[in-house]
Structure 1
Amino acid sequence: MTPMIPAAALAAALAPGAPPADRPVLLDARWQQGGPPGRPAYDAGHIPGAVFIDLDTDLAAPPGPGGRHPLPDPEIFGAAMRRAGVCHGRPVVVYDGGQNWAAARAWWLLRWAGHDRVMVLDGGLAAWPGELTREVPDPPEGDFVPRPGAVPVLDADAAAALARDPGGVLLDARAGERYRGEVEPIDPVAGHIPGALSAPTTENVGPDGLLRAPEELAARYAALGVRPGTAVGVYCGSGVSAAHEVLALASAGIEAALYPGSWSEWTARPERPVATGPDAG
């Protein structure tokens, strides 16, 4: 199943008279790192039928030793999804207002929790061709119960081992200057996990705001040594933009494991090694 849905296809699925089985649950996951909360933007206008989900409370546990956005408690995550109307077997579409990083986090979490019919709106809210509404829906309670473990996950030790494995690739999805250790605006230590390769998430998206074509993505990752069958892991600062990289890899037909704790967890323990500069280290 493709992880992306074009705006025209979503509009058709939401249109009056569309087959009920094709009508997705719609989730608005607007969020910005260090920016204003997403809820006011949702209240000001959202795609009709969309339910707001909060990344910091619904899609992550509180910050701590596990990073800035640790995996949420499955019970809390499941309750949030049921309140939004998520059901087993019914498609789900997620969008946000930016580069779809938060939407990808929701997509990944639902897949991790066992939902196999989840897509992200290609281009996010900016691609939506229809009107927006301020009406907040009250969907029927869903029946989704998380069953974690449906997709691969890395902890710090597994990420380090993958970075050292000649047959594996660990990708750093942050901006290149953060990978190189030139700047670090969020976490206490600059640099990257030794052995990781720089692969900024922003390069997965074209100038039109849409995810690049699968063949373009496949070529990008092949240049980094990633091909179907390669063991691949991805991390970022806190497991959000890295989820978008997992999404892009999935679009190219490549399964990748997410390191949810990412750099914010890695640097929480000062004994963990840190590399700087343009090379993997």
Structure 2
Amino acid sequence: MSVFVSAAELNERIQTGQKQTIIAALWEPEEGKAWAKFQSEHIPTALYCDPSVQLAGMPGRSVGRNPMPSISTVRKAAAGWGVEEGRPVYVYDGGNGLFAARAWWILRWAGVSDVHILDGGFAAWDGEGLPTVAGPGGVIVPREVELSEGHLPAASMEDVRAFEGLLIDARGARRFEGRREILDLRAGHIPGAQNLPVYELFDEQTHKVKDSDTVRDRFAQLGITHNTDPAGAITYSGSGNHSALLLAALEHVDLPLLTHYVGGWSQWSGNRDNPVATHI
């Protein structure tokens, strides 16, 4: 099954009583608002995920805004969601795909192989008039899950400093060029990086992934093909969310999963010793 699944596909699984774990990775800048939204309306059997706590470590200038979580954090979260071998996982967010993609990548990195993203997120589900429920979420028996780090390639800031291959920045063009920066300490990009704004791979209105040929063609413009060595290219974004979505699109069209620099621009720009490039 593809990385991105439609609302109709997921609803069919739920209505026919198939076993799966559904995770709602929701985030709002106002504390408690995402949890309140989940409680008021969510996909049947879904369980709540707080990306800032369960999918990231403690932020800081030296590590970035959303650094990698510890494997123990992921184990605890996955156990609470009832993740287990042989049981597919479906993740969704409000609709833009960023937090669902982060959950997808983190779980895959930790060794959960069967993970999928709801294409278009809850907005797509709601837009099709599919059933929702209120309350704290599905009842689950916490499980012991065997997870370990490193099942997907990841790069540190030191790795990026020494890297001489293809470096892809998944942020929007204005942030890449250094014309706009409201989140991180400096504006611009890592010298030598090429820009592929991840939302070029998704429909502007629905946030659903574009057709496979269009996605493959866009990657091909940067030289990413079926023969690309995952170690020969690194992707990053501000703090690992946009780049996770780019990686999900890559796997969706059967292209190699590239190495992920999760610390991203937020970590790189926080270190004054790191050079910065702009296109102003």
TM-score by length of 1: 0.91
What is the 5 A alignment of 1:238-249?
Answer: 238-249=239-250
Mapped to 2, the partners of 1:102 and 1:203 lie a distance apart of 18
Which residue is 2:50 aligned to? 54
After superposition, residues 1-281 of structure 1 pair within 5 angstroms as 1-15=1-15, 17-18=16-17, 20=18, 23-32=19-28, 34=29, 37-64=33-60, 65-128=62-125, 129=128, 130-136=130-136, 137-162=138-163, 164-165=164-165, 169-206=166-203, 207-230=205-228, 231-254=232-255, 255-277=257-279
Q: Distance in 1 between matches of 2:188 and 2:171?
A: 10
CA contact (8 A) 1:181 1:192 kept: yes
Alignment RMSD (CA, Å)? 1.6
User: Residues 55-82 of structure 1: CA distance to partner in whole angstroms, max 9, x if unpaired?
Assistant: 1000001102211111111112211111
Deviation per residue, 1:1-33 (Å, 9 max, x gap): 521111111011111x43x4xx2100000125x
Distance 1:71 1:156 in 2: 12
Q: Which runs of 4+ in 1 moved over 3 A?
A: 34-37
1:161 to 1:215, Cα distance in 2 relative to 1, 3 A: farther
What does the per-residue CA deviation read over 1:72-126, in whole Å, with 9 as the maximum and x for residues that have no partner?
Answer: 1111221111111111221000000021100000000110000100000011011
Count of residue pairs brought into register by the alignment: 269
State the identity %. 34
Q: What SS does the corresponding residue of 1:170 show, helix, strand or coil?
A: strand
* Local SS of the residue matching 1:267: helix
| Preserved contact between residue 89 and residue 115 of structure 1 (Cα < 8 Å) | no
Displacement after TM superposition at 1:144 (Å): 2.0
2:171–2:196 CA contact under 8 A, matched in 1: yes
What displacement does 1:243 show?
Answer: 0.4
User: TM-score, with normalisation over the residues of structure 2?
Assistant: 0.91
Q: Does the Cα contact within 8 Å between 1:48 and 1:135 map onto a contact in 2?
A: no
- Residue identity opposite 1:152 in structure 2: P
